[in-house]
A and B are shown apart, each in its own frame.
Chain A
């Protein structure tokens, strides 16, 4: 069965520091992987996605993620955190099941950025 695990429900970094949000997946078929960001009281916005091809994926706002099949991971990184990056981040996997394309989310990681 497909599933997504995000390690760490809360991550706190200093402004300018590296951001690393961890995501591991379980999938019996080649996965399609996503990172979404949610700002307070708003919907989810797509940051980046991995479908096929290059394993290092670049997204919006300076974020990138690397698909590592051997580690079943899709960790999200940003070299230098900004205060505006404070939000909740969700990793997700897409697969086809029961007649429709299902999108399963991890539990989310809340990122705090302090001065």
Chain B
């Protein structure tokens, strides 16, 4: 069966420090991968998606970047964190299903607090 791992679960970082969040998927090949951010009291905002190794698309301009060095590894990074980067970050994967749509499966999330 497929599983998704996301770490760390919580992180407190000072403003201006770098960031690296990692997500790996097991049990599937060539998944679509996503990074979402959930700010306090708000819905899910899609940050990045990837359809393959080295293929990254950004949904919104921001202080963050993403990379996909391996098929089932997705990394969210920042060179210098801002206070506004605080939030709950979720990694997800999906595959195209036989009925033509997609279904996403989520990691447990990372609670990032920038101080």
Instruction: Report A's interface with B, CB cutoff 8 A.
Output: 9, 32, 34, 36, 41-46, 49, 51-52, 90, 92, 94-96, 98-108
- Check B107 against A43 for contact (C-beta < 8 Å): yes
Q: How far is the CB of B11 from chain A (nearest CB, A)?
A: 13
Pick out which of these stretches binds chain A: B14-22, B62-70, B74-82, B94-102: B94-102
- A42 touching B108 by the CB < 8 A rule? yes
Do A49 and B51 touch across chains, with their CB atoms under 8 A apart? Answer: no
Is B102 a contact partner of A101 (Cβ separation < 8 A)?
Answer: yes
Residues of B within 8 A of A (CB): 6, 9, 32, 34, 36, 41-44, 46, 49, 51, 57, 88, 90, 92, 94, 96-97, 99-109, 111
**Neighbouring A residues of B43 by C-beta, 8 Å:** 90, 105-108
A-B contact pairs, 6 of them (CB 8 A): A41-B109, A51-B99, A102-B46, A102-B102, A103-B46, A108-B42
Task: Determine the chain B residues whose CB is within 8 A of the CB of A99 once the complex forms.
Answer: 51
Kindly identify which residue among A9, A95, A98, A101 contacts B96, using a CB–CB cutoff of 8 Å: A101
Most buried by A among B36, B51, B92, B102: B102
Contacts A100-B49, A101-B32, A108-B43 given; does A43 touch B90 at CB 8 Å:
yes
Kindly list 4 other residue pairs between chains A and B, CB separation below 8 angstroms, not including A51-B101, A100-B57, A101-B101.
A41-B9, A41-B88, A101-B32, A108-B44
Q: Is the CB of B101 within 8 A of A105?
A: no
Chain B residues near A92 (CB-CB < 8 A): 104
Minimum distance in angstroms from B37 CB to a CB of chain A: 12
Contact A42 B49 (CB under 8 A): no
> With A34-B103, A43-B106, A105-B44 known to touch, is A98 a contact of B57 (CB < 8 Å)?
yes
Residues of the B chain whose Cβ atoms lie less than 8 Å from the Cβ of A102: 46, 49, 102
Given A43-B107, A44-B106, A101-B96, decide whether A94 and B101 contact each other with a Cβ distance below 8 A: yes
Among B99, B101, B103, B106, chain A packs the most CB atoms within 10 A around the CB of: B101
Known A-B contacts A90-B43, A107-B42; the reply to A32 vs B109 at CB < 8 A is no
Q: Are A103 and B94 closer than 8 Å at their CB atoms?
A: yes
